[in-house]
Amino acid sequence: MLRLTNISQNYLQGDSILKVLSQLNFSVNAVKNIGIIGPSGSGKSTFLNILGMIETPTSGEYILQGNNCFDLSQNLKTEIRKKFIGYIFQNNQLLEDFNVLENIAFPLILNGESFIEAKKKSLVFLEKLGLINKKLIKPGLLSGGEQQRVAIARALIKKPVLLLADEPTGSLDKNNSSLVMDLILSLSKKNKTISIIATHNLEIIKSLDVCYKIEKGKLIEI
């Protein structure tokens, strides 16, 4: 389904070069929930950004659903992101000018669905989230846990092949963290989505199928 080969990512820092990832290899051939751990600055977000084609690495190859992603034009990369990839950020990045229903429907509309059809599917998700009574509220009026549940719905409503979650519970309390992770795992299983979750939370790691640590620019299974 996806394969990274010999991925390196370097950044210029003044007159020196910071090597974040070094000849990293990674592949997933079946639906799994995968954890990525490592200290701050180890390269977790960089790794997710490369998988999400937000960053292009210094060198290496990335195959997703048969597409050689780094050889594609920006327009084709955008199309693959819209079709195959969902992203959950720690700060949720919801659209503040849109209400909850519009935020969840937005990816479907980008993929060409009518607003009526996207709205129907979004209402089903809101029922599952227990947020149906807040469908017309702007995200800024929701609690942190509610905002993150909306972000999860927005990422998963299009049934992506790949879900990337960067510290999805980092700003939440223990109860909301458990609720958010249960939601990610249950919806990923139902949609047959590969979930890759970067986290510092070792409790989350226990609920996943496999975990890797980023160390010295490489992935080590633990």
Mean pLDDT of all residues belonging to the chain: 90
Structure-token match 């469908």, residue found? 135
What per-residue confidence (pLDDT) applies to 175? Answer: 81
Phi and psi based region of residue 207 (left: phi greater than 0; alpha: psi -120 to 50; beta: remaining) = alpha
Q: How confident is the model at residue 211 (pLDDT cuts 50, 70, 90)?
A: very high
**Phi and psi at residue 116, to the nearest 5°:** -60, -45
Q: Report d(CA 155, CA 38) in Å as an integer.
A: 24
pLDDT 10s digits, 197-208: 998 888 888 889
Q: Give the least confident one: 27-31, 35-39, 98-102, 167-171.
A: 167-171
215 exposed, middle or buried (CB, 10 Å; 0-12, 13-18, 19+)?
middle
Rounding to the nearest 10 degrees, give the CA dihedral for residues 151, 154, 156, 159.
-170
Identify the structural domains of the chain with CATH numbers, from first to last: 2-221 (3.40.50.300)
Nearest-angstrom CA–CA distance, 135 and 200: 31
What is the pTM for the complete model shown?
0.90
User: ∠ CA 33-35-36 to the nearest 5 degrees?
Assistant: 145
Could you tell me the pLDDT band of residue 170, with boundaries at 50, 70 and 90? confident
Note the pLDDT tens digit of each residue in 127-163.
Answer: 887 889 999 999 999 988 888 889 888 998 988 999 9
CA–CA dist 38, 219 (Å, integer)? 10
Q: In whole angstroms, give the CA distance from residue 217 to residue 138.
A: 40
* pLDDT tens digit sequence for 95-139: 999 999 999 999 999 889 999 999 999 998 888 878 899 999 999
